[in-house]
Amino acid sequence: MPKINFVSAAGVTQTIEIPTGWTLMEGAIQNGVDGITAECGGGCACATCHVLVPAAWAEKLPPMAPAENDLLECTAVPRSPQSRLSCQIAVTGALEGLTVHLPERQT
């Protein structure tokens, strides 16, 4: 299982193992990562699983679908070029060591 690092807005890092095939959001919820609300449960309908992905990791992620792109306009913290929804990022072995940053708030 790949280890993924979630960094809170306060700079605290929580490293969790997420099974391949799960999404970052599923792993975060199952492991109690504070800062991922996921109100819609992963249906790409709420934008409360917003994460910031460093540019160096962007090419390893699946491309952004139009629905995700649209929802990123509705995040509580303004969208940035590193913004993604963690419910849309499926975990693969290639993501071992990925670090994502959480915004100050989700709602």
**What does pTM read for this prediction?**
0.95
Whether residue 106 lies inside any domain: the answer is no
Residue 35 lies in a domain: yes
Please indicate, yes or no, if residue 18 is contained in any of the structural domains. yes
Tally the domains of the chain: 1
State the Cα angle at 54 between 46 and 99, rounded to 5°.
Answer: 80
CATH number at residue 89: 3.10.20.30
Give CA–CA dist 55/88, Å, rounded. Answer: 17
Rounded to an integer, what distance in angstroms lies between the CA atom of residue 107 and that of residue 35? Answer: 10
Give the pLDDT score at 2. 98
Buried b or exposed e, range 2-37, using 16+ CB within 10 angstroms: bebebbeeeeeebebebeeebbbbbbbbeeebebbb
Q: Is residue 107 part of a domain?
A: no
Where does the pLDDT of residue 57 fall: very low under 50, low under 70, confident under 90, or very high at 90 and above? Answer: very high
Classify residue 12: in a domain, yes or no.
Answer: yes
pLDDT of residue 46: 95
Confirm whether 61 is domain-assigned. Answer: yes
42 falls within a domain: yes
Q: How confident is the model at residue 59 (pLDDT cuts 50, 70, 90)?
A: confident
